[in-house]
Amino acid sequence: MTVKLKVWVSRPLFPEVLARLAEYVDVQAEAVERPHSAAELKEKLAGVDGAIVALSDRVDASVLEGNRRLKVLANLGVGYNNLDVEALTRAGVLASNTPEVLNESVADYAWALMLAAARRVGAAERWLRAGQWAGSRMRFDDWLGLDVHGRTLGILGMGRIGQAIARRAAGFDMRVLYHNRSRLPEPVERECRATLVGKPELLRQADFLVLVLPFTPENRHAIGAAELAQMKRTAVLVNIARGGIVDDAALAEALRDGRLAAAGLDVFEGEPVVHPDLLLLDNVVLSPHIASASEDTRRGMANIAVDNVLAALGYGEAAGKPPTPLNPAVMNRWKAPKA
């Protein structure tokens, strides 16, 4: 009897996706969603051949120390700042993420936050639900928000998600400016109707500034007090990238003092804890890191994680060819995968 390889899944996942994994390997899936300490991760990862983890699981050199067994670690997310990829590479572990599948859903959500923040959807709903409409003598000039159409959209970080956000702007007749490490190829710029500008100009010109940067040490507080001070008082800031890219304390101050009109935030420094000053403000729309959370996309992400694990462990049609590896060279150091 052959002993099945073991895969740990750090959180509950769609049953049919887990069932697909279980056709090949022994699956140990956590039944409850909760963060795991470094010590727990170390212990869990030491006893398995593969693992599926997510943003709240921080896998670094200390977690991998002494691990001789783990072969593949699939991250449920396109961003992977929770992983020390160099340490994984040194440990001979293939890491993967879930790019592309979520681009359009995250772009939809960026627009949801832009529109909701500009038109005060959250605050208006809270007011209505609190029973304040009836008998309020709501005035014709109450609840005035900002128009989105015809304004200038600024995108900081113009990868695939940024481009998907830009393409949607055509329907709103917006001018699109972007800032990125490198200029997009001209046909892509044309398709997105987007113009490259420097960061200071982007900050000065944007009526809506959407952040789609990866979280790296250089991008920490890419939008802080100094950057906020350069923005229009009528501007709206949207962060769907990562907490920590924005200095949340400085943002709360700017929103409170009327130096920025509104914000839409899906990610937070120190999430799931949200800066208490943000919670006090009505001109910010807050959501619990759900930009990719559509039915189809979250299933798609889970399936890609499973595809990476199975392929890396040598199972299925794509055996030996994980679809979205972060450090594929690691596989050259393995013995030939099981056919």
Q: Which residues are catalytic?
A: 242, 271, 289
Query: Is 79 an interacting residue with respect to ligand GLV (CB under 6 A)?
Result: yes
Tell which positions 163-192 bind ligand GLV, by CB under 6 A.
Answer: none
| Closest to 238 measured CA to CA, from 152, 156, 332, 140 | 156
Rounded to an integer, what distance in angstroms lies between the CA atom of residue 108 and that of residue 68?
42
Q: Which is nearer to ligand GLV, 260 or 267 (CB)?
A: 267
Nearest to 305 by CA among 39, 3, 2, 27: 27
**Under rule CB under 6 A, residue 244 binds ligand GLV:** no
**17 vs 231, which CB is nearer to ligand GLV?**
17
Q: Looking at residues 285 to 314 of the shown chain, list those that interact with ligand GLV (rule: CB under 6 A).
A: 292
Amino acid at the residue 197: V
The first and second tokens of residue 225, run together, are 């007090």
Minimum Å gap between C-beta 278 and ligand GLV is 18
Identify the CA nearest to 94 among candidates 337, 332, 328, 334: 328
Nearer Cβ to ligand GLV, position 82 or 283? 82
Annotate 43-67 with b (16+ C-beta within 10 A) or e (fewer): ebbeebbbbbbbbebbbeeebbeee
Of 120 and 242, which has the nearer Cβ to ligand GLV?
A: 242
Question: Could you tell me the smallest distance in angstroms from the CB atom of residue 307 to ligand GLV?
Answer: 16
159 binds ligand GLV (CB under 6 A): no
- 331 within 8 A of 92, measured Cβ to Cβ: no
Contact with ligand GLV (CB under 6 A) among 77, 122, 243, 300: 77
Identity of the amino acid at 13: L
User: Residues 95-124: x/- map of binding to ligand GLV (CB under 6 A)?
Assistant: -------x----------------------
- Asked if residue 214 has a cis previous peptide bond (ω within 30° of 0), the answer is no
| 78 interacts with ligand GLV by CB under 6 A | yes
* Binding span for ligand GLV by CB under 6 A among 42-50, 73-81, 256-264, 309-317: 73-81
Residue 246: strand pairing partners: 223
Amino acid at 163: Q
Taking CB under 6 A as the binding criterion, the range among 2-10, 72-80, 142-150, 193-201 that sits at the site for ligand GLV is: 72-80
Tokens found for residue 87: 């340490």
18 sits in which H/E element: helix 15-22
Q: CB 242 → ligand GLV: shortest distance, Å? A: 7
Q: If binding means CB under 6 A, how many residues of this protein chain bind ligand GLV?
A: 5
Positions touching ligand GLV (CB under 6 A) are 77-79, 102, 292
